[in-house]
Amino acid sequence: MNDEGGAGPAQERSAIDPSIWRGLTQRRMSRRTMLASAGAGGLAAFLAACGVQGTSPGGGAAASGVGTASWWARQKLNKKVNFANWPYYIDVLNGKHPTLEHFTQTTGIQVSYTEPINANLPFYAKIRPSLQAKQYTGFDIIVMTNNSPPLGYLINFGWLTPLDQSMMKNFYTYAGPLVKNPSWDRGNKYTMAWQSGWTAIGYNSSVIKNPGSSIGILFDKKYAGKVGMMSDPQELGSAGLLAIGVDPATSTESEWAKAAKKLQQQKSDGIVRAYYDQSYINHLKNGDTLVSQVWSGDIFQADLNSKYRDLKLLIPDEGAMSWTDNMCIPMNAQNPKDAMMLMDYYYDPQSQAVVEYYGNYVCPVPAARQVLLNPAGWAKTTLKEMASSIGLPPSVTADAPTVFPTEQYIKSSRPYYQYKSQEELTAWNNLFLPITQGA
Amino acid sequence: MEQPVLAHHPGRVGSGRRPQVRLGKALAPYLLSLPAGLWLLVLFLVPLIVMLSLSLQTCNFGTGACVMTWHWAEFGQQLSLYRGQFLTSVYFAGAATLIDLVVSFPIAYWIAFYGGRKKNFFLLMLLVPFFVSFVIRTVVWQFILSDQGVVLGTLKNAHLLPQSFHVLATGYAVVAGLAYNYLPFTALPLYVAIERIDRRVLDAAYDLYATKRQAFTKVILPLTVPGLFAAFLLTFIPALGDYVNQTVLGGTSNTMIGTVIQNSFLVNLDYAGGSALSAVLLAISLLGIFAYSRLLGARAIEEYL
């Protein structure tokens, strides 16, 4: 961030009208809830798994020369692109998406924008048969989260089209440090970030006056029986790794075991009240828990209500896990060049400013802040039109540290471990899942 | 079930004049049972076989490849890993069922014997809370019973309970939740069983100088045994596989097998393990139904379903 001087530090958040945080986590909540309750989704994944017999992955990029410079040179613009995203994740005005309209106006490329992704795993199970059969999935752009196995599978099986680096001009000019050359995709070979968020610590400041600045607060016997942890093994394991001073992204299996031991101890000491799904936020609000693992946006949303303004976010010294949803092009996409155009378009600060003004997620383009503060060009009229339905000026979004993170937030961000195989995922889950499933 | 009456009109036996009609009539019962048969085949037998076969396969979620490896050891591994959770489930579901039987017997008895013309109204009253979604009802208990909530918060402020007292995140909360959620499954079969007792049998008991207590223990109770057992099965089996109550009301050391199975499929992507656990759970349930049909006859089941 080059213009951090003007932004209010995180601690001054309360001075900002809290309604800025509206909508911050809606998508994430809906996705968690869906995942938790979607027996149907699980069933779909389950049946899909049964339906496909022992086909080995293949038809990947390396084998076919897909994604090389000469391959890209042969691709043509088809003036259409199919974009699959998560629900409630893009700017909306009067039932339309201003950025997509503007993109079509300026490039002539028609965008078919759909929101079929409610959870990573079921969606992956849905497109996998097409990828295995070397067919078009029906989507030129899909959005996958970095902390869920499918993104790793897609990369490792060669099921993503390597991006045309020469068509990423906006990206290389404007992408922020959190999303450029990320650990889950070195050199942005396959992905460009869509939006991000954090998993950090939330605490009740009316009881905990001096929370300190360490993740150790989750392991403090002072709060025995009042600590909420997440039941998601990836979130739980990552917290354990941070607590033993290990960077999750580069951790090893022996370190996982140490982290599991630490978490097991935390449980047997009676510190953990329960392992929660999205419902953790209700328990934190009720006072059932005093300190908990949280998704950053939930705390800000809770702060909307004066009743819960005591809930504070703590980004510990050891770091906070940051997740990012990534745009990528599946293999055999019919309109890869159009897809590249659209993906890079979202790294134009003007389009990103419009997306953020509506969405309030962590912005991958720091320069969008200037657009929000001093709107210019096409974004100016669009932001103005949107203002009445949003009810707050764009400058409020610009000053939110959760949209445009402070240096401290960026430094504290830790990426998740990227599983390289099914065996690794199983090994991880066999360590951390039993902790949440005590009999 | 009676044997279906086939088209054997005496006058036509062996006449063979209109064989097509006879064929059609002979087929009728089979055609009529076809939808039910298909339903069983497609929605019960096929998934059951897929599940059993999957429990012996080795799967890779990434590629979606499942190879049949006849991995019988899966059952042993899963059972040794999750024996505790199975026991917890049996224990919790059993406790909840027992509570339900004790609570709903007087209710069912009262409605059946003293409900008069308002029987249906009372039954409706019993069921009204259950028109609300299962999960929502459970989550509402979470709010009611929260540490600083309406009940506990008030009692704590009055110094009637220590500050550290809590109900949520304990096994008691899970059992209570199960008992609450499955109450109608116990109450209704019991009601049916008690309702159908012929009052003249009771009159006969009194004529033979039975006391009220004797009439209850020697006449009413034995006559409701099939209902009691049906109520037990209808409550115990779904409660055994329940994962909502444990997830919403439970804590760190009272996981039920339903939660483990759910996590196997949706979090751990371990289809083989999840299938093996499901198969074991199913076997336990089938044992219960088998015991029922042996003890009380299959026909007794039909009366309550």
Cα gap A362→A368, rounded to integer Å: 11
- Residues linked to residue B60 through DSSP beta bridges, in sequence order: B65
Pairing of strands A272-276, A227-230: parallel
**Does residue B35 register a pLDDT over 90?**
yes
Residue A60 backbone phi and psi in degrees, to 5: -75, 175
> Kind and range of the H or E element at A83?
strand A80-84
- For B54, which of A50, A56, A439 is closest by C-beta distance? A50
Which amino acid belongs to residue B278?
S
For residues B223-243, one letter each, b for 16 or more C-beta atoms within 10 angstroms of the residue's C-beta and e for the rest, the string is bbebbbbbbbbbbbbbbbbbb
pLDDT digits (tens, 9 = 90+) for A152-207: 889 988 999 999 999 999 999 999 988 999 988 999 999 999 999 889 999 999 99
CB distance A364 to A193 below 8 Å: yes
pLDDT value of position B20: 62
Chain A CA closest to residue B60 = A422
Cα gap B249→A285, rounded to integer Å: 16
C-beta atoms of B271 and A286 within 8 A: no
CB distance A287 to A160 below 8 Å: no
pLDDT value of position B58: 86
| Smallest Cα distance from A10 to chain B, Å | 29
Judge whether B254 is closer than 8 Å to chain A, CB to CB: yes
Contacts of A421 in chain B (CB under 8 A): 62
C-beta atoms of A225 and B142 within 8 A: no
pLDDT value of position A36: 36
Judge whether B164 is closer than 8 Å to chain A, CB to CB: yes
Cα gap B127→B192, rounded to integer Å: 15
pTM of the entire predicted model: 0.73
C-beta atoms of B63 and A35 within 8 A: no
As given in the structure block, the two tokens for residue B146 are 């929260």
Please report which residue ranges of A20-168 form alpha helices under DSSP H. 26-37, 39-51, 61-64, 69-74, 98-107, 120-132, 149-156
Contacts of A422 in chain B (CB under 8 A): 60-62, 269
Pairing of strands A191-204, A142-145: unpaired
Chain B CA closest to residue A58 = B63
SS3 state of residue A134: coil
Note which residues in 166-205 of chain B have CB less than 8 A from chain A: 166, 168-169
Mean pLDDT of the region B23-40: 89
Judge whether A274 is closer than 8 Å to chain B, CB to CB: yes
DSSP string, A146-182: TTSHHHHHHHHTT-BPPP-GGG-HHHHHH--TTTSS-
Residue A195: closest CA among A86, A116, A100: A86
- For A437, which of B66, B248, B259 is closest by C-beta distance? B259
- For B252, which of A45, A121, A267 is closest by C-beta distance? A267
Cα gap A364→A172, rounded to integer Å: 12
Residue A7 backbone phi and psi in degrees, to 5: -80, 140
Note which residues in 125-144 of chain B have CB less than 8 A from chain A: 135, 139, 142-143
C-beta atoms of A274 and B250 within 8 A: yes
pLDDT value of position B163: 84
Average pLDDT across chain B, whole number: 87
User: Which of B267, B271, B275, B277 to probe the A interface (max A CBs under 10 A)?
Assistant: B267
- Name the DSSP class of B128: G
Chain B CA closest to residue A50 = B66
Contacts of A439 in chain B (CB under 8 A): 82, 84-85, 87-88, 253-255
| Cβ atoms within 10 Å, residue A104 | 17
Pairing of strands A291-295, A191-204: antiparallel
Cα gap B45→A327, rounded to integer Å: 41
How far is residue A284 from each of residues A209, A212, A241, A271, B189, measured CA to CA in Å? Answer: 16, 18, 23, 15, 41
pLDDT digits (tens, 9 = 90+) for A31-75: 333 333 333 333 334 333 433 333 444 445 555 689 899 999 999
pLDDT value of position B5: 46
Cα gap A122→B93, rounded to integer Å: 31
- For B84, which of A42, A153, A439 is closest by C-beta distance? A439
ipTM score assigned to the predicted complex: 0.76
Report the Cα A299 to chain-centroid distance in Å: 16
* Percent of chain B's residues with pLDDT above 90: 54
pLDDT digits (tens, 9 = 90+) for B114-127: 988 999 999 999 99
- Ordered per-residue pLDDT tens for chain A, 439 residues: 333 333 333 333 333 333 333 333 333 433 333 333 333 333 334 333 433 333 444 445 555 689 899 999 999 999 999 999 987 788 888 889 999 999 999 999 999 999 998 778 778 888 988 999 999 999 999 999 988 888 988 998 899 999 999 999 999 999 998 899 998 899 999 999 999 988 999 999 999 999 999 999 999 999 999 999 998 889 999 999 999 999 999 999 999 999 999 999 999 999 999 998 878 888 999 899 999 999 876 776 676 667 888 998 898 999 999 899 999 999 999 999 999 999 999 999 999 999 988 877 899 999 999 999 999 889 999 999 998 877 778 888 898 887 899 888 888 889 898 887 778 888 998 899 889 998 7
Reported confidence tier of residue B294, pLDDT bands at 50, 70, 90: confident
Residue A267: closest CA among A315, A218, A233, A216: A218
| Smallest Cα distance from B141 to chain A, Å | 12
| Smallest Cα distance from B272 to chain A, Å | 11
- For B146, which of A225, A232, A286 is closest by C-beta distance? A286
> Kind and range of the H or E element at A199?
strand A191-204
Q: Which residues contact B91 (CB under 8 A, 6 or more apart)?
A: none
Which amino acid belongs to residue A58?
G
Q: Which residues contact A136 (CB under 8 A, 6 or more apart)?
A: A130, A332, A333, A334
B39 burial (CB, 10 Å; 0-12 / 13-18 / 19+) is exposed
Report the Cα A245 to chain-centroid distance in Å: 23
Angular region, A319: left φ>0, alpha ψ -120 to 50, beta rest: left
**Does residue B182 register a pLDDT over 90?**
yes
User: Which of A37, A50, A419 to probe the B interface (max B CBs under 10 A)?
Assistant: A50
pLDDT digits (tens, 9 = 90+) for B237-281: 999 999 999 989 998 888 999 999 988 887 777 889 999 999 999
